[in-house]
A and B are shown apart, each in its own frame.
Chain A
Amino acid sequence: MKNVRVWFKKIGTARYISHLDLNRCMLRAIHKAKIPLWYTQGYNPHAFITFPLPLSLGISGERESMDMKLDDDLITREELIEKLNAALPDDIPVFDVTEPVMKPGQIAFASFVMKVDTDNPEVTAAEISELFSREKVVVPKRTKNGFIDLDLKPYLDRTEVISRSGGVEINTILPAGSTMNVNPSLLCDAIKKYLQLDLYTDIQRMNIYDADFKIFE
């Protein structure tokens, strides 16, 4: 039995599938690729795969990961990558398979690039920068117990707003993982609430880090 961490992208059309659907899609691909997966030994055996940090619907991921247990230690990294890619849709390409180094629980931050659609990048960028420098930026956040008011301000230290020719780019690193998680779409909610700007924003998750900003491996 061997634990492996599969690294893939979730881009293009694959952005629009939920975590549950991704899970099913991966199981089908593993079955199709005839990868010797370890099955749980219980009454109703099932394959065992987990995702260290699931991605929200609509956001693309450049460095996503999935952990699985193999029944066979001999299959090589190259074989796994090739077999999985042959079995997955084009928009979920696998680019690496490694041994897990960190535990999923160590994940603390994720970095995002947010591309905001606007005809007037300079003005919009200035407005967003001003908003993010205010004392308080409060947005409603949905939790298990209903909506709460969340002040984003403490989490905006590692956020920069840049005016580009096609629109505004926001580069940000936000808390992520099981203890504290800030969804980047909350930044869009703030822009909508405070600036009355309902702008289409393309969000990419670029990377994942632990509490010391070491890249998740």
Chain B
Amino acid sequence: MSSNYAFRKFKNRLFFFLCLFCVVVAIVPLLSILYEVILRGAPQLSLKFLTANALQGGIGPAIQGTLIMIGLTSVIGIPVGILSGVYLAEFGNNKYASALRTVHNVLTEFPSIVVGITAFSIVVVGIIGTYSPLAGAVALSFILIPIVARTTEESLKLVPDSIREASLALGVHRWRTILSVVLPTARSGLITGTLLAVARIAGETAPLLFTILGNSYFFQGFNQPMDALPIRIFLDSRQPSVEVQAQGWSAALVLILIVLSLSISVRLASRGRFTR
């Protein structure tokens, strides 16, 4: 600590501006990404572009594929994730549960490419024998489940015990209390957490490379490769043709609209309850 007061005041101001500078530096890439995606992606957008297949220069199959992936993954992952979260929150006061909690935490930070290898080996090679939307959904659920479980646990912990006790005192069974009283009370937190998790998996690419592979045509069955927006962006970015690259930017615009509208609306609706 310097003894010179003026110098200390100066240092104080200097670091204020340095920290402000850090915030600005972090926001520049965000604004640049949004700017470039709109600038390069918007001109090609048209109804035909959004509905035509890739051979006709559209991204219809990619949009359809992403919606199918979101749907399938939600069907597999959300019930499992929520029930896991219920167990951790309501019965989680033992060693088994705290071990599981650690596993969930670790799984949340798993490299997604490794999940792709797992789904490829188990589903694509082992069970179905071809690339399949189901394999992609399995891979994405592996990512979705731990996130949903964790947010479910956190939301259920916010439900006051008095509500549980009131229900139990009326003679309602424990399981009935959880399903009919605790879960509805925590509803807004559950919806927030689940939608954020869905937004996260909607943009995942790496696990899809080995499982649904990409396709120029619309959905062709559960034993055929399928397209998705992230894969379309990746493949288009590697093409030398400027037109195809521009299609990649438009696909990116559509994807970022889906993902950001999910997360922004959720954050506005939850009004800072989940400030993470």
Chain A bound to chain B = no
Interface residues of B (CB under 8 A from A): none
Interface residues of A (CB under 8 A from B): none
